[in-house]
Amino acid sequence: MWLKIILVIALLLIVFSLFQALFYLVKGEEKLEQMNSSLGRRVFFSVAVIMLLLLAIAMGWIKPNKDPFTHPVKPPQQQISEPDKPQAEN
């Protein structure tokens, strides 16, 4: 569970850095250095997410899904219950 939380936080940081760089881009040329650092952080977080996923797969913390096209997931079968029979009054 902790791995999922870390990955979600990292993905949110990636999106935040991307929009922060967009903000600096719109502001003008005087913010060029800040825009570059925001884009650099985004690349760093992206690489960190990929490395964390590869580490988690290698350590066995997560298991990748099988190919859904060759191994389709069958929906669970529902049990059909018989309708309630009226009970005879005593």
Question: Is the predicted pLDDT of residue 68 greater than 70, yes or no?
Answer: no
Does 65 have pLDDT greater than 80? Answer: no
For residue 75, is it within any domain?
no
Q: Is 32 contained in some domain?
A: yes
Predicted structure pTM score: 0.63
Burial 43-81 (b: 16+ CB within 10 A, else e): eebbeebeeeeeebeeeeeeeeeeeeeeeeeeeeeeeee
Domain region containing 9: 2-59
The reply to whether 15 falls in a domain is: yes
Is 89 contained in some domain? Answer: no
Could you report the per-residue pLDDT of 15-64, keeping only the tens digit for each? 999 999 888 888 877 778 888 888 898 999 999 999 999 999 899 888 88
pLDDT of 86 reads 66
Residue 30 maps to a domain = yes
**In total, how many domains does the chain have?**
1
**77 domain residue, yes or no:** no
Q: What phi-psi label fits residue 72: left (phi over 0), alpha (psi between -120 and 50 degrees) or beta?
A: beta
Label residue 9 by pLDDT band (50, 70, 90).
very high
SS (H, E, C) 51-71: HHHHHHHHHCCCCCCCCCCCC
pLDDT band at 83 (very low <50, low <70, confident <90, very high): low
